[in-house]
């Protein structure tokens, strides 16, 4: 893979990560404007089967701006580390062109 292609792929993955973080912030702003009504409507309700749908939505909801501010830097760092290059990532597994998983490589760059 050429350097130009690697840079293009890197910026594509970085843009996807930035878009996800922007989505979290947009959801938080809507949640704040609605008086945190999204937390009540889509949050996890303990000990109620009807609140189980919150398992899907809860990772996108935050209790306050301080909560989201505290979660944003670790998300950016871990998301950036997980980007890796085309075939490898921080988690240490490789995928070939078919998507099948292969043994981890132990090369240090």
Q: Which pLDDT tens digit goes with each residue over 80-102?
A: 888 765 555 545 555 555 555 55
Average pLDDT over residues 16-30: 96
Q: Is the pTM of this model over 0.95?
A: no
Tell me the CB-side half-sphere exposure of residue 9, using CA atoms within 13 A: 12
Q: Are 59 and 75 in contact (CB under 8 A)?
A: no
Q: Are 1 and 86 in contact (CB under 8 A)?
A: yes
Residue of higher predicted confidence among 90 and 71: 71
Region of poorest pLDDT, from 70-74, 77-81, 94-98: 94-98
Residue of higher predicted confidence among 16 and 97: 16
């Amino acid at each position: 893979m050429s350097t130009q292609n690697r840079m293009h792929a890197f910026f594509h993955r970085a843009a996807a990560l930035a878009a996800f973080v922007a989505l979290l912030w947009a959801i938080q702003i809507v949640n704040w404007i609605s008086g945190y009504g999204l937390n009540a409507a889509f949050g996890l309700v303990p000990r109620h089967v009807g609140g189980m749908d919150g398992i899907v939505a809860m990772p996108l909801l935050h209790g306050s701006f301080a909560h989201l501010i505290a979660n944003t830097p670790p998300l950016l760092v871990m998301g950036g580390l997980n980007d890796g290059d085309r075939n490898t990532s921080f988690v240490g597994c490789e995928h070939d062109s078919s998507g099948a998983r292969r043994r981890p490589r132990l090369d240090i760059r």
